[in-house]
Structure 1
Amino acid sequence: MKRWMLGLALLAMATAWGLAEKAKGVSYPEGYRRWYHVKTLVLQAGHPLYDAFGGIHHVYANEKAKQGLSTGKYANGAVFVFDLLEAPVEGNALSEGSRKVLAVMEKDSNRFADTGGWGFQAFSAGDPQKPIVVNAKEQCFSCHESQKDKDFVFSTWRP
């Protein structure tokens, strides 16, 4: 009887843990700077998105996202990181300033069905303890929706 109760308790704990893992949002992407560097872009004053996204952008892709860049179709587990930095001009040179935000897209068609299969999160100043997205559908997906024909991804493959 004790073994049966212990087994039942362990099963309940494993189920609860599995559900908690599934319910999680997008995590901070440890080690992303060692991923594939997709591109760098600078948004300057005068660009329509400058107020929100002005600065130096570096886009990184994990292996699954890199594979999807060439086909336009992304498998579950594909992750993109958008690293946004201040862009101060010093001595006629544009340089990297402090990190403004680190944004992450993670493909999981089951967990994120209502946002095209992508989960979104952003971390203020790149701090894993400071997630800032509270409504991914409004804050992120509303713009990515325009890229439906590219699986909601703005970045494209440039060999």
Structure 2
Amino acid sequence: MRIIQGAAVGLVMFAAVAALAEHEATEAGAQAAVAGGGTAVDSEGRLHVPDDYRRTYQLLGSWAIAADDGRGSKEIHVVYASPGTIDAFQKDQRFPDGAVLVKEVFKTATGELTTGTVSHADALKGWFVMVKDATNRYPGNALWGDGWGWSWFNAADPSKTTTINYKAECRTCHVPARASDWVYLDGYPSLKR
């Protein structure tokens, strides 16, 4: 009986160590995005559209923005999360430090199909990039605050942000989502447990 109890304790300890190692690996992967030389931000705090995000990131979800008049949508937003972000959020219900969210914003084309009025992504307008910053890495940088780095990039020039001050240009749209860490969670079923 003592051998069985010892084996059970050993298995529980092994499972706990494995779970901790998996959590730390997820956190380390997310934090790598904000480490110097990361693809989403450089050592000066300048954000970038990450290379190959469509291939290496996870699809977080999408949004259709209704047309001002008429039928269909005027924009479609497709959002990706850096590797490990979804798993970490499902476990802790928070975005891990270093998590990167990339939102593609498309103009749409709307037409009639056999299924009804359909809007689909047409021309890319640009990207909105957010990087979780739980440690306030870039104090005084007008693109960082409220726990995130924030930047918009026009499709014509993905290498340079047009954002000058996140408080005036980004945060105002996110105020209704303040209680959920400035992110609208409803459109992301993959974050639900």
Tell me the TM-score normalized by structure 2. 0.60
Residue 88 of structure 2 corresponds to residue 63 of structure 1: no
Aligned residue in 1 for 2:137: 111
Distance of 1:59 and 1:72 partners within structure 2: 18
Aligned residue in 2 for 1:37: 59
Structure 2: give runs of 5+ residues left out of the alignment. 1-35, 37-41
Q: Secondary structure at the match of 1:33?
A: helix
Distance of 2:49 and 2:146 partners within structure 1: 20
Is contact 1:84–1:100 with CA below 8 Å preserved after alignment?
yes
CA drift at 1:95: 2.5
Aligned residue in 2 for 1:94: 119
Distance of 2:123 and 2:102 partners within structure 1: 17
Is contact 2:129–2:151 with CA below 8 Å preserved after alignment?
yes
Residue 189 of structure 2 corresponds to residue 158 of structure 1: yes
Structure 1: give runs of 5+ residues left out of the alignment. 1-17, 48-52
Residue 159 of structure 2 corresponds to residue 122 of structure 1: no
Change (3 A) 1:130 1:98: farther
> Could you tell me which amino acid in structure 1 is paired with residue 63 of structure 2?
L
Tell me the TM-score normalized by structure 1. 0.71
Please report the RMSD computed on the Cα atoms of aligned residues, expressed in angstroms: 2.6
Is contact 2:81–2:101 with CA below 8 Å preserved after alignment?
yes
Aligned residue in 2 for 1:147: 177
- Per-residue CA deviation, residues 28-70 of structure 1 (Å, 9 max, x unaligned), is 21111121111122112139xxxxx941110111124323442
CA drift at 1:147: 2.0
Aligned residue in 1 for 2:164: 134
Identity across the alignment (%): 27
Larger fraction in helix:
1
Aligned residue in 1 for 2:94: 73
Distance of 1:54 and 1:111 partners within structure 2: 36
- Per-residue CA deviation, residues 103-129 of structure 1 (Å, 9 max, x unaligned), is 100012323566211001111016323
Q: How many residues align?
A: 135
Most deviating of 32-41 and 126-135: 126-135
Q: Secondary structure at the match of 1:23?
A: coil
CA drift at 1:22: 3.9
> Could you tell me which amino acid in structure 2 is paired with residue 102 of structure 1?
W
Q: Secondary structure at the match of 1:155?
A: coil
> Could you tell me which amino acid in structure 1 is paired with residue 108 of structure 2?
A
